[in-house]
Amino acid sequence: MALFDDEYAANPHPALAELRQAGPVHRVTSAAGIPFWMVTRWDEARQVLTDPSLSKRQPVDQLPAELRAALATQMLLRDPPDHTRLRRLVSAAFTPRRTQALRPRIEQITDRLLDELATVSEPDLIDRFAVPLPLEVICELLGIPGGERRPFHAWSNVIIGGSGGPADMVAAMSAIVAYFRDLLARKRAQPSDDLLGALLAVVDDGDRLSDDEVVGMALLLLVAGHETTANLIGNAVHLICRQPDQRERVLKDPGLLPAVVEEVLRMASPSATSTYRVTTRPITLGATTIPAGEQVLISLLAVNRDPRRFTDPETFDPARGDGGHLAFGHGIHFCLGAPLARVEAQIALTRLFGRHPEIQLAVRPEELRWRTGLLMHGLEALPVRLRTETS
Ligand code: HEM
């Protein structure tokens, strides 16, 4: 099964439905020729996500030393008790209240990007809106001064845009780590009330984060919260524009947008898969036993359309009011940024459709280019027309 070609990227669902129908877990080979197991059913996904015998630890020794320290301390790549400790400290600083307090800034950033968008005749909504918005928001959250954000856009083009190879990616991440180290020294000298300042200050039962851990956390937030949220915004605009009845409903009642965002998360999950886990003992899923020492991925796209869990799963129905999708994962590694991602997407869509109710795709759906690769599900570009032409 070709899970990596352009056809799969544009519409992965037929291939995933076939796999899901055939069984809950499958042995697949990555584009780089590395074998792993992919889970395609909802029940088994929850089983894997809550099984402590699957480890998140991944080898980092092939990375350059300056990156190794920052990555080795990231909680997404740790198991309990390290993960428990890091998550507790970080949660004390990255609170729901901090996310709510960011709302007015997210609205301002959104409006500025929309002002710029309106000056272009057929703008690419991904490049000009969906990608820069979450990047600016994370910079704002972390407390990166406005004048120092420009390089982040260039680094993000390399990390997300794929402009360059793996060596450029490592170089971009190393540059970000070096920048964070420098910024941290400045924040230590002059305490601030942004998230980096809070991460430096947080103390829990006498315990605190080391500099490497704060840098690792900042990098994780940047990488985990950027492309995912960009994909969510792009996938939402795409789905809404392709369904005139949904657009009418949203325009009449923007209060429906939170439910629409949940349904987009389910039907077009921006993180196409979980991150890798490795079995530390044999585990049995359905009729299959995966040996110890094997890599496992959960196809969130597949499990979120599992007919065993969702009634009529191929229908876009924001009214289903069912919080059961696994787009943000499940269990101890459940997405820390889910509240922020939801707020961002809701603001982005409310402002975009409020200002440009006639917005439509500027190309035929089959001409759209999707990002390839297994881990993400999102558009490479989304050319739109902001108003209907009148001749
Ligand atoms: C973890 C998805 C936005 C920070 C995760 C996981 C998923 C996910 C599926 C779990 C991975 C696994 O178990 O293998 C998403 C999606 C997003 C989004 C779909 C947007 C629509 C964000 C944002 C932030 C963020 C905005 C922060 C600014 C994190 C962190 C973790 C995580 C720190 C690791 C949690 C841990 O290991 O305990 N995310 N994410 N994410 N996400 Fe998100």
ipTM: 0.99
Nearest CA residue ID for atom 27, ligand 1: 337
* pLDDT tens-digit profile, the chain (391 residues): 467 777 888 899 999 999 999 999 999 988 778 899 999 999 999 999 999 999 999 888 888 887 888 888 899 999 999 999 999 999 999 999 999 999 999 999 999 999 999 999 899 999 999 999 999 999 999 999 999 998 988 888 787 766 677 888 888 889 999 999 999 999 999 999 999 999 999 988 899 999 999 999 999 999 999 999 999 999 999 999 999 999 999 999 999 999 999 999 999 999 999 999 999 999 999 999 999 999 999 999 999 999 999 999 999 999 998 789 999 999 999 999 999 999 999 999 999 999 999 999 999 999 999 988 888 999 999 999 998 765 4
Read off the DSSP letter of residue 79.
-
Distance of alpha carbon 338 from alpha carbon 335, whole angstroms: 5
Neighbours of 6 (CB within 10 A): 10
* b/e per residue 338-377 (b: at least 16 CB within 10 A): ebbbbbbbbbbbbbbbeebeebebbeeeeebebbebbebb
For a substitution probing ligand 1, which of 38, 71, 228 has the most ligand atoms within 8 Å of its CB? 228
Distance of alpha carbon 20 from alpha carbon 30, whole angstroms: 18
Distance of alpha carbon 123 from alpha carbon 120, whole angstroms: 6
pLDDT at residue number 162: 67
Q: Is 336 in the pocket of ligand 1 (CB under 6 A)?
A: yes
Where do the domains of the chain lie? Answer: 6-385
Long-range residue pairs from 75-78, CB within 8 A, at least 24 positions apart, any chain: 75/217, 75/220, 75/333, 76/220, 76/224, 76/275, 76/333
Task: Determine phi and psi for 361, rounding to 5 degrees.
Answer: -65, 140
For residue 216, the CA-to-ligand 1 centroid distance in Å is 14
Closest approach atom of ligand 1 to CA 271: 19
Which among 214, 223, 154, 137 has a CA at the least distance from the CA of 183? 214
Contact 116, 128 (CB under 8 A): yes
Q: Is 274 in the pocket of ligand 1 (CB under 6 A)?
A: yes
Distance of alpha carbon 295 from alpha carbon 386, whole angstroms: 44
pLDDT at residue number 390: 58
Contact 291, 29 (CB under 8 A): no
Alpha-carbon separation of residue 15 from 2, 19, 302 (angstroms)? 8, 6, 9
Nearest CA residue ID for atom 32, ligand 1: 335
Contact 300, 334 (CB under 8 A): no
Closest approach atom of ligand 1 to CA 334: 10
Encoding tokens for residue 228? 């995912």
Q: Is 299 in the pocket of ligand 1 (CB under 6 A)?
A: no
For residue 227, the CA-to-ligand 1 centroid distance in Å is 11
| 3-state DSSP assignment of residue 271 | strand
Distance of alpha carbon 193 from alpha carbon 325, whole angstroms: 34
Q: Class for domain 6-385, per CATH?
A: mainly alpha
Q: Is 156 in the pocket of ligand 1 (CB under 6 A)?
A: no
Q: Is 327 in the pocket of ligand 1 (CB under 6 A)?
A: yes
Nearest CA residue ID for atom 7, ligand 1: 328
Distance of alpha carbon 28 from alpha carbon 31, whole angstroms: 10
